């Protein structure tokens, strides 16, 4: 895979059709918008090294309830924009007065972005088996720019990780990750995820992670 460090304004290609994420087209040429790594495939994408999470409909995220209004929970989703979880998006029919009984301020939830309007009003839902209140396990936070690497191509990295460490893992696109399993398993999962976070921009990461897990497990037994 052809990768290169680029800074904003770098010329990437003279073929406007190859413009992908993190790029823009001017006078028929493709330039970088970001400081990050350019991936030269059919399309040229620039992956940033830093930046804030901007919600996109369909994203799974982990949020913390920070306020309750008449019919909405206001949820911090680790982004410049707050999420709104409407009472009707709760899996059970509940009354407005009872809202804080189910999700109170400080509750962590696994949720999904359903809609983002042009003024960046972010709507969330809990209507899915996978989603809901976090009652056990732990949540860790990494940079959201590393999440694609943690998931891997077609989910290869994350499914391997789930199997190897024997934990339930929910990855939020906003960089928050929920892990649930045995104490030792969770520790190992945590160590592995920090390693992925730290070395996200290196080549052949999946193989190294497999080796890392093997030696860590060998040390344990």
Q: At a CB cut-off of 8 Å and minimum separation 6, what does 95 contact?
A: none
Q: At what angle do helices 205-220 and 183-198 cross, to 10 degrees?
A: 150
Helix (H, G, I), strand (E, B) or coil at 116: strand
Q: Which is nearer to other proteins, 1 or 136 (CB)?
A: 1
Q: How far is the CB of 26 from other proteins (least distance, A)?
A: 8
Q: How far is the CB of 133 from other proteins (least distance, A)?
A: 25
Q: Which is nearer to other proteins, 121 or 166 (CB)?
A: 121
Helix (H, G, I), strand (E, B) or coil at 200: coil
Partners of residue 24 on adjacent β-strands: 31
Q: How far is the CB of 52 from other proteins (least distance, A)?
A: 6
Q: How far is the CB of 67 from other proteins (least distance, A)?
A: 13
Residues that bind other proteins (CB under 8 A): 5, 7-9, 22, 24, 26, 31, 33-37, 48-52, 54, 80-81, 118-120, 145, 198-199, 201-202
Residue 149: which of 140, 160, 138, 139 has the closest Cα? Answer: 160
CA distance 211 to 11: 38
Q: Which is nearer to other proteins, 109 or 205 (CB)?
A: 205
Which tokens hold the place of 91? Answer: 């899996």
CA distance 220 to 77: 36
Residue 191: which of 221, 159, 157, 161 has the closest Cα? Answer: 161
User: What's the chain's length in residues?
Assistant: 221
Q: How far is the CB of 15 from other proteins (least distance, A)?
A: 19
Q: Which is nearer to other proteins, 11 or 155 (CB)?
A: 11
Q: Which is nearer to other proteins, 51 or 182 (CB)?
A: 51
């Amino acid at each position: 895979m052809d990768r290169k460090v680029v800074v904003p304004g770098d010329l990437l290609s003279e073929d406007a059709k190859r413009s992908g994420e993190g790029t823009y087209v001017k006078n028929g040429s493709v330039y970088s918008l970001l400081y990050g790594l350019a991936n030269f495939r059919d399309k040229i994408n620039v992956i940033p090294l830093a930046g804030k999470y901007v919600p996109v409909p369909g994203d799974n995220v982990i949020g913390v309830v920070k306020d309750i209004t008449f019919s909405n929970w206001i949820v911090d989703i680790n982004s410049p924009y707050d999420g709104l979880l409407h009472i009707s998006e709760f899996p059970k029919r509940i009354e407005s007065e009872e809202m804080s009984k189910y999700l109170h301020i400080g509750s962590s939830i696994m949720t999904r972005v359903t809609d983002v309007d042009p003024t960046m009003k972010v709507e969330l839902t809990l209507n899915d088996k996978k989603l809901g209140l976090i009652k056990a396990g732990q949540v860790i936070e990494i940079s959201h720019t590393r999440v694609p690497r943690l998931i891997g191509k077609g989910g290869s990295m994350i499914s391997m990780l789930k199997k190897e460490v024997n934990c339930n893992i929910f990855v939020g696109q906003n960089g928050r990750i929920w892990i649930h399993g045995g104490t030792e398993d969770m520790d190992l999962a945590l160590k592995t995820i920090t390693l992925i976070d730290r070395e996200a921009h290196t080549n052949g990461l999946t193989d190294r992670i497999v080796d890392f897990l093997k030696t860590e497990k060998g040390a344990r037994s």
